[in-house]
Amino acid sequence: MAKVIEDWARERPELDTSPLEVLARLHRSFLRYSTGLTESIERHGLSVAGFDVLTALRRAGEPYRLTAGQLADSGLVSSAGVTLRIDRLEKDGLIVRERDTEDRRVVYSRLTEKGLATVDTAFAEHLDNESRMLGGLSPSERRQLARLLRKLEISILAADEGRAGAAE
């Protein structure tokens, strides 16, 4: 990455290439992280999208069930693909659909025993993988990086809002 930054600074000295030092490295790190995440999850017969649904259900606590709307609101699952993801997970025996006993219009997706065992195993492996990736950082550095990434996230969201406002 240092070579890329150096090349741009040489070829376009009038440009401030300092954002590359952060965002290009962040992008490359994300691509490697994403590859590792996908490989880890696929070993359990899951897609990343399916894993997100299962982890949302697991985080909900017993009886490990949520409606499609609640899954969409969980933050990791987009509303557009919830039904397709639920269909696939149900077909694989990882979740079942259940109607609410009080209001039959409400349908829950609930983890099966197989789904609970799968998500618990896959999530533990996922955390081990993430710990391995962060192995070069001390606990203090991890906390500092988490704070800085949160600050970067806020900055990016503000920049997006500014761009959206300018387009109107």
Cβ neighbours of 53 (radius 10 Å): 29
> With 90 as the cut, is the pLDDT of residue 121 above it?
yes
Domains of the chain: 22-163 (1.10.10.10)
Q: Are 86 and 109 in contact (CB under 8 A)?
A: yes
pLDDT tens track for 7-50 = 998 999 999 988 988 999 999 999 999 999 999 999 999 999 99
Position 79 scores a pLDDT of: 67
Read off the DSSP letter of residue 137.
S
Q: Is 60 exposed, middle or buried (0-12, 13-18, 19+ CB in 10 A)?
A: middle
Q: d(Cα 117, Cα 123) in Å, to the nearest integer?
A: 10
Q: How confident is the model at residue 166 (pLDDT cuts 50, 70, 90)?
A: low
Digit-coded pLDDT (tens) for 57-75:
999 999 999 999 899 888 7
Q: For 33, phi and psi rounded to 5 degrees?
A: -60, -45
